[in-house]
Amino acid sequence: MPRERLSMRKVREVLRLKYEQKLSNRAIASSCRLSVGSVHDYLQRARVAGLSWPLPDGLSDEALDLRLFPLAGSFPSDRAVPEWERVVRELRRKAVTLSLLWEEYRSDHPSGYGYSRFCELFQSYASTIDPRMRLVHKAGEKLFVDYAGMTMPVIDRLTGESVAAQIFVATLGASDYTYAEATWSQCLQDWIGSHVRTFAFLGGVPQIIVPDNLKTGITSPCFYEPDINRTYFDMATHYDVAVIPARPAKPRDKALVENHVKTVEQRILARLRDRRFFSLAELNEAIWDLLDDLNNRPFQKMTGSRALFFAQLDAPALRPLPCEPYHFGEWGTARVSIDYHVSVLKSYYSVPYQLLRQEVETRVSALTVEIFFKNTRVASHARSFTEGYCSTIPEHRPSHHRDWGEWPPERMIKWAAETGPFTAKMVEELLTCLVHPAQGYRRCLGIISLSKAYGTARVESACRRALACQAISYQSVKMILKNNLDGAELPEPVPGGPSLKHGNIRGAGYYADTAQLSLESEVIGYK
């Protein structure tokens, strides 16, 4: 190899000085400001290529460069030329190395190239296929995922409004086999759903997923230790796949999918630019039709196609899919209240009472709410879509609370009457004013519990003032006590003001048939 790659103008000068001026290599090196070794190397290449001086008429710089630096395998030699396309395919198979392939080549051709020349010729050949050397990806190892920069408009038939659909792209490292689909957004649920559909499309699971550092999947894009979203991690665990995000500010970590994003944009999205789509399903059908054409299109610089390489390389190396696909569940955290319930999406779900005040993890799916403590599931409830709904499992209560579910609302009113008649009146009003009974029980118990901090007399006075002001809520009574307003003079009633007694109030009798709806399952220590 030459010490330095020269411009063809200087190469012509080296040949002129040698063959026309008859100068020595050292004199040529001094004149052209080159090393003697470089001069010798270029003259040697010219002799092998059959060139002297003057050069043939019309020989361009490109043609001269090609004759001095022929493509791998075309340099004049009596040695057997390796089958470079086979070498490329074999290198993508698991555990196959260039050294092993050279040993197999030499066993078939004992007088063939040595290992260093074999590697040199391979690197030269590989650079004509892909200057970035993507050949290192092993079969079934990596799946690169990202969103395209382009979006596709989907038109609402009723309003005519156009919504930009996002384009998800996934590419296998070894075969370049590609999947693409349109989703409404890049939110977590769409992100996870695209992965699940990608695995189904491939018919198997790779070892590693390489995403970009988008916020949907990566909570903290640290260079050394990125923090993966809990739901994304849950999905990866279900499929037994590792998630290794590309390093921030290192575009070559995901150069493969970046190139294929451009390919999808050029080969698929650009072809659909003038079509109008009225649903996401319609758009995806069009994308998948062109995606099949993309995967079966022959390579320009290699024999075969993405689909052929996938069948030969990736498909046999992928691990089987699990028995059930992953069902999306969004994770969050919550703290267990003193009533051994946690609030999830404005509804309440019980956990074992031993976990009072502990922080737990919640997983909300389409049908269930699961609660975990230190990675162990401690409760599972049917999901409610009614705001304020309270789901209580009897076994989660302490033993002295388990008979509360049999109490009628009248018993709570009687219990509040032990504090005073105004407290009983406040509890009755709360039970009749709120939409859902469970909301009333929690707040009534909160009012009664204020007597522990302020005493029964002050709570009774605060309830009297709240009733006079028509402020029927736990927070009103609490703020009256906190601001020492329970001893202040009562306000004058407003003539013609609103009354709590009207036709829409259901009254305590309304609850006679709802005594089984987890009545007083909320607070410890009130029996």
Return averaged pLDDT per consecutive 10 residues of the chain, 527 residues in all. Answer: 58 86 85 83 81 80 75 54 80 76 85 82 69 61 88 88 92 89 90 93 91 60 52 87 72 63 87 90 93 87 83 90 88 83 87 88 87 88 84 78 54 80 86 58 79 89 88 87 84 52 48 38 37
Residues 6 or more apart whose Cβ sits within 8 Å of residue 73: 81, 82, 84, 121, 125
pLDDT at 429: 83
- Based on the domain organization, do 260 and 335 belong to the same domain? no
- Triad 76, 77, 79: Cα angle to 5°: 150
Report the pLDDT value the prediction gives residue 63, as an integer from 0 to 100.
76
Q: Which amino acid is at 117?
A: R
Burial 378-403 (b: 16+ CB within 10 A, else e): bbebebbeeebbbbbeeebbeeebee
Count up the domains in the chain and report the number: 5
Sheet holding 390-391, edge to edge: 341-344, 347-350, 390-391
Domain stop point among 295, 316, 351: 295
Check residue 29 and give its pLDDT: 85
C-beta atoms surrounding 277 within 10 Å: 20
Full residue range of the structural domain in which residue 345 is found: 330-396
Torsion angle of the four alpha carbons 311, 317, 323, 325, in this order, in degrees rounded to the nearest 10: -70
Q: Characterise 455 by phi-psi region: left (phi > 0), alpha (psi -120 to 50), beta (else).
A: left
Domain boundary among 271, 295, 319: 295
Q: Establish if 467 belongs to a structural domain.
A: yes
Query: Does some domain include residue 308?
Result: no
Kindly state whether residues 219 and 354 are assigned to the same domain: no
Judgement on whether residues 358 and 423 belong to the same structural domain of the protein: no
- Residues 220, 299 contacting (CB under 8 angstroms): no
Q: Does 318 fall in a domain?
A: no
Alpha helices (H) in 203-254, listed in sequence order:
230-239
- List the CATH number of the domain containing 269: 3.30.420.10
Residues 113 and 153 in one domain: no
Question: Does any domain span residue 315?
Answer: no
Name the pTM for this structure.
Answer: 0.53
For residue 292, give both structure tokens: 């099949």
Residue 523 lies in a domain: no
Residue 225 lies in a domain: yes
* 324 within a domain of the structure (yes/no): no
Same domain, 171 and 276: yes
* Shared-domain flag, residues 280 and 214: yes
Residues 184 and 264 placed together within one structural domain of the fold: yes
Name the burial class of residue 3, with classes exposed (0-12), middle (13-18) and buried (19+) by CB atoms within 10 angstroms of its CB. Answer: middle
Same-domain check for residues 150 and 288: yes
- Does residue 439 share a domain with residue 501? yes
One domain, residues 222 and 124: no
The residues, ordered by sequence, that sit 6+ positions from 328 with a Cβ below 8 Å of its Cβ are: 189, 192, 193, 231, 365, 366
Tokens describing residue 289:
């039709």
146 and 130 within one domain: no
Show which of 368, 396, 424 is a domain's final residue: 396
Pairing mode, if any, of strands 178-183 and 330-335?
A: unpaired
* Domain shared by 148 and 285, yes or no: yes
With respect to residue 320, please indicate whether it lies within any of the assigned structural domains: no
- What pLDDT, on the 0 to 100 scale, is given for residue 181? 94
